[in-house]
Amino acid sequence: MRAEVAAGTDIALLVAASAAPIAEERLSVRAEGVEYPVSETWDRFGSRLHLVQGLPEGTVEITYEASGAAVAPVPTTQEADAVLHLRPSRYCEVDEFEKIAAEVIDGRDGVEALDAVVDWVHDHLDYVPGASTITDSAGSTYLSRQGVCRDYAHLTATLLRAGGIPARCSSVYAPGLSPMDFHLVVEALIEGEWLMVDATHLAPRASMMRIATGQDAADTAFMTTLAGNVTLTGIQVTAVVDPALPAEIRHERIALR
């Protein structure tokens, strides 16, 4: 990742694999060729957050490399999840979708309701790179019927919450995604278990690795400017799985690790 920054810029990064133990891992931030210190903390959703402060004016290069990811434990649930992840959020106007969600779910519950929402979003949206901006929400996506992974995720999460199913968004590394980039999926709380769904169907869910989790894309952005100014000039994401990419089985129950 490469960016031009103003003097005194502070940034927060959500690029590190969040849950799975990693055999080898390295995060490097270089400003005008000089390595800058990075501190690690955790956000309120348990994602690994890396902070860099006081960058000088000029070019910044950010590199994250990881290999040898082990199988992470199944995500735990908290008693408050059923409340927190039903609420509206910046990109998910839950209160405006109750009637629409009722029509989509049509009396189903549990996994059947989850499958109905995912199928509806997949069938009613067109995946069009560049069709949306960072200001687009579930509401504008519903009207335009097009977007990218974040738009699919926001509409899916909104319909689920409006239908009474707690849902959250998670950014992931997604081997098999083409073109490769950071990817946003949805986790729904069904019978006490977080099940991962992806209405884009662009990559096999079984090989995805969690980066960050939150209510929507506002909580999972790979970089946030805390002070100063940042202009992103280049980004390259690569994610592979060994020994082979698994097949995607539609409606299979999968928990994101």
Q: Tell me if 247 is assigned to some domain.
A: no
Q: Tell me if 248 is assigned to some domain.
A: no
Contact between 139 and 89 under an 8 Å Cβ cutoff? The reply is no
Residues 42, 99, single domain; the answer is no
Residues 155, 100, single domain; the answer is yes
Residues 97, 33, single domain; the answer is no
Print the domain residue range for 8: 2-71+223-234
Residues of the chain scoring pLDDT < 50 = none
- Burial label for 240, CB within 10 Å (0-12, 13-18, 19+), is exposed
Query: Among residues 167, 205, 171, which one has the least CA distance to residue 189?
Result: 167
Residues 187, 67, single domain; the answer is no
What type of residue sits at position 87? R
Residues 123, 206, single domain; the answer is yes
Residues 108, 203, single domain; the answer is yes
CATH of residue 59: 2.60.40
Looking up tokens 């950010």 gives 62
Q: Tell me if 256 is assigned to some domain.
A: no
Q: Tell me if 18 is assigned to some domain.
A: yes
Residues 198, 227, single domain; the answer is no
Query: Among residues 203, 194, 17, which one has the least CA distance to residue 114?
Result: 194
Name the pTM for this structure: 0.94
**Max CA distance (Å), the chain:** 59
Residues 108, 175, single domain; the answer is yes
For residue 62, what is the enclosing H or E element?
strand 58-69
**Packing angle of the helix pair 110-124, 149-162 (nearest 10 deg):** 140
CATH of residue 166: 3.10.620.30
**Packing angle of the helix pair 98-105, 110-124 (nearest 10 deg):** 110
pLDDT at 72: 59
pLDDT at 116: 98
Buried b (16+ CB within 10 A) or exposed e, 131-159: bbeeebbbbbbbeeebbbbbbbbbbbbbb
Residues 59, 101, single domain; the answer is no
Residues 180, 61, single domain; the answer is no
pLDDT at 93: 98
Q: Tell me if 6 is assigned to some domain.
A: yes
Q: Tell me if 192 is assigned to some domain.
A: yes
pLDDT at 53: 96
Query: Among residues 150, 186, 140, which one has the least CA distance to residue 165?
Result: 186
Q: Tell me if 201 is assigned to some domain.
A: yes
What type of residue sits at position 12? A
Euclidean distance between CA atoms 155 and 82, whole angstroms: 19
Q: Name the domain count of the chain.
A: 2
Residues 142, 91, single domain; the answer is yes
Q: How many CB atoms sit inside 10 A of residue 6's CB?
A: 15
Residues 66, 164, single domain; the answer is no
Query: Among residues 31, 26, 38, which one has the least CA distance to residue 2?
Result: 31
For residue 232, what is the enclosing H or E element?
strand 230-234
- Between strands 9-13 and 193-197, the pairing is unpaired
Euclidean distance between CA atoms 180 and 152, whole angstroms: 17
pLDDT at 176: 95
Q: Tell me if 257 is assigned to some domain.
A: no
